[in-house]
Chain A
Amino acid sequence: MATIAASAAAPLERQPTDWASPEMQGRIAARYRAERNFRRLGAGALMVAAGFLAFLLFTIVRDGWTGFLRTEARVEVMFDAATLGVDSAALRGPGAQAVLARADYVALMDKAALQLGPASDMLSDAAWLALRDRLVADPTLIGRTETLWVPVRSSIDLLAKGKYDLDAPADSRGVTDREVSDWRWLDSQGRLRTVFNQAFIGNADSTEPELAGIGGAALGSLFTLFVTIAIAFPLGVFSAAWLEEFAPRGRLADIIELSINNLAAVPSIIFGLLGLAFFLNYAGLPRSSPLVGGITLALMIMPVIVIAARVAIQAVPPSIRDAALGIGASPIQVVFQHVVPLALPGIMTGTIIGISRALGETAPLLLIGMRAFVTDTPQGLTAPATVLPMQVFLWSDDVQRGFVEKTSAAIMVLLFILILMNSVAIYLRNRFERRW
């Protein structure tokens, strides 16, 4: 009682605030300083991140851009029927194509290579393929001489691209004196040219760097992703729609939700082990095939799609459901004629991000045998195949110098596709995103 009375008797006299006092000015200055520092710190962090990214891209492009080029040597080829071992008479019959396909182009190539003098063995082992392609395209060349450009060995290719330090001692520069002198001779004769490397885009893997390409791996990736999308997208969307719209709320739904969230965080190699144990060993599906790879990756990205689709479905306002229910739409009609179509841009964005992840995935595919050395482009979903990131892995493991640029070039292609896919995802999100 006494204290209350005292405080009532002598209320604390409050001074008017002096907004211009030095302490107040100090506080204001400190506040601005803190903001400036924070901005600098943020900009600095961004610069460091951008720097790392730029360095990564720079080294990849520096090493990789020459992978899209290849060096060819000019040879004059006399398409001599005797050397080819074909009977001129048979070429006029109906089986002409078959005869041409069986001809001895290697002998013809060896003969033509002699004109390269000291460098006659510097042509690629598969140079004869160029002769075959030319002759099959135009059988009238038999008995005539034609100037052709054929691929050279990887070492000559790399010398032409300036990949070796020729000032270094012979034993440490990675290329022999003979190869250097052969290259100099070929170059002085004007017999070399550098052109776009179609083989890199079209071919499958090879032991020879000048013949190796990403075509097979790209097609393998395409087949694998086709299987992945065909399984993961419907499964993911239906799961999400059921969980959001039909599942009874309760302990079971909580457990399912927790499991899906955990599944999305499971290391990808675990999915590879599952694929190995179940699809290969138990179900007996073909090893190394895009089918098994696709199913395994589908399991891996399905939780990602489910989570994205659930978020997108939740974002559809309840008023739309009310509107449809209110005029007598059945729950199925509400979900598949209203909610899912409205959620589709979000679902697509999540799906594309999941697919990008699947495209860049290597670990689970190692376990189901997709690291096989496949020299043919895959013929179907059950044929042995490899995928782009696996090709990068295989080449980066190779001791031959020529694969260094191929590795970086393959990374460039992979990154290009990934950036393209993510751009599509961003475009879809911006184009179709709805604000309610």
Chain B
Amino acid sequence: MNTNPAPNAAIGHNHVPKMTARNVNVFYGQKQAIKDVSIDVSPEHVTAFIGPSGCGKSTFLRCLNRMNDTVDGARVEGRIELDGQDIYAPVMDVVQLRARVGMVFQKPNPFPKSIYENVAYGPRIHGLARAKADMDNIVESALRRAGLWDEVKDRLGESGTAMSGGQQQRLCIARAIAVDPEVILMDEPCSALDPIATARIEELIDELRGRYAIVIVTHNMQQAARVSQRTAFFHLGTLVEYDETPAIFTNPQQTRTKDYITGRYG
């Protein structure tokens, strides 16, 4: 059992949380990957999940839009709410949930289609655009918000897979933005990128903050310190500590957190 006292799920009381998780356990077959995690996600902050490899931070992230449903033998217990609505309830439509809680993956994964089609695909399947002009608008504003418009406006017909890695990842962010989500989950979005592309993505995250609730998983502690306002430290499937980012990095309450951020293990 966890010998440390359970961390606070909530920090402060000035916001209604966008998403809340209570006593979440995740099992892959017999193996328990997440143990009793409770956490609130703020609507206007960037929340970072940090921790050593295999600590369950990505697994937990994938619970927030039910991407774990596609994994054979995965089982989620506990309660996760989006705006007070249980996302694992039978009435919850998982397709709509994933439109409201978008996701950006570790490796840039644009569809092998044109840049335009990459962005337009989500709005199209959800019926968000009535006419071609509507769609053009949606595509342009999503690409603008992802900071990609000026680079690609003259070659929207070119393949999304022909761009550089950093551009591909921003295209994936534009694709997620295009369906007008409320929450964007980012699973180590910069781990496959070079430092310049990483800096560009971090700027972008900062620009998107406030408009969308953002949860980012990262193994890079400097990145968590740079982009997030809240940080949750996971270790061995448990949430060890959750606090304002400066507090985690300057004044951790738990010895495990302190050991991790000072490089004792990880």
Contact = CB atoms under 8 A, between A and B. Distances in A.
Contacts of B122: 327-328
Interface string A317-347: 1011111111111100100011000100000
A337 B67 CA distance: 19
Interface of B: 65, 67, 70, 72, 95-99, 102-105, 107, 109-112, 121-122, 125-126, 172, 175-176, 178-179
Given A249-B72, A321-B70, A323-B172, A329 B109 contact: no
B181 to A, nearest CB: 9
A244 to B, nearest CB: 13
A323 B112 contact: no
7 contacts: A249-B72, A319-B109, A323-B110, A326-B103, A328-B98, A329-B95, A330-B125
B107 A324 contact: no
Contacts of A323: 105, 109-111, 172, 175
Given A317-B109, A323-B105, A325-B98, 4 more contacts: A319-B109, A322-B103, A326-B65, A338-B111
Given A326-B67, A328-B96, A328-B179, A319 B105 contact: yes
A325 B105 contact: no
A324 B111 contact: yes
Nearest to A326: B103
A39 interface: no
A221 to B, nearest CB: 36
A432 B172 CA distance: 24
A111 interface: no
B179 to A, nearest CB: 6
Nearest to A328: B99
A434 interface: yes
Contacts of A328: 95-99, 122, 125-126, 179
B238 to A, nearest CB: 26
Contacts of A327: 98-99, 102-103, 121-122, 125, 175-176, 178-179
B8 to A, nearest CB: 30
A435 to B, nearest CB: 11
B149 to A, nearest CB: 19
Interface of A: 249, 317, 319-330, 333, 337-338, 342, 434
Contacts of B175: 323, 327
A157 B107 CA distance: 71
Contact of A329 (B104, B105, B125, B178): B125
A324 B179 CA distance: 12
Contact of B112 (A321, A329, A333, A342): A342
The 4 closest A-B pairs by CB, nearest first: A328-B99, A319-B109, A326-B103, A327-B122
Nearest to A334: B70
B109 A320 contact: yes
Contacts, number: 62
A334 to B, nearest CB: 9
Nearest to B178: A327
B105 A333 contact: no
A337 B126 CA distance: 14
B182 to A, nearest CB: 13
Nearest to A434: B112
A315 to B, nearest CB: 13
A55 to B, nearest CB: 46
B125 A322 contact: no
Contact of A326 (B72, B96, B98, B178): B98
Contacts of B95: 328-330
A330 B72 CA distance: 17
Of B97, B103, B110, the most chain A CB neighbours within 10 A belong to B103
Nearest to A250: B72
A297 to B, nearest CB: 34
A320 B97 CA distance: 19
Given A327-B122, A327-B175, A327-B179, A322 B99 contact: no
B102 A326 contact: yes
A322 B98 contact: no
A322 B70 CA distance: 9
Nearest to B104: A326
A320 B96 contact: no
A345 to B, nearest CB: 12
Contacts of B70: 321, 325
Of B72, B125, B172, the most chain A CB neighbours within 10 A belong to B125
Contacts of A325: 67, 70, 98
A40 to B, nearest CB: 44
Contacts of A329: 95, 121, 125
A319 B107 contact: yes
A319 B99 CA distance: 17
A367 to B, nearest CB: 43
A152 B16 CA distance: 99
Contacts of A322: 67, 103, 105, 109
Contacts of B96: 328
A390 B103 CA distance: 58
B170 to A, nearest CB: 14
A320 B104 CA distance: 12
A326 B105 contact: yes
A46 to B, nearest CB: 37
Contacts of A338: 111
B111 A326 contact: no
A434 B112 CA distance: 10
Of B72, B98, B105, B126, the most chain A CB neighbours within 10 A belong to B98
A327 B101 CA distance: 8
Contacts of B111: 320, 323-324, 338
B108 to A, nearest CB: 9
Contacts of B102: 326-327
A136 B97 CA distance: 75
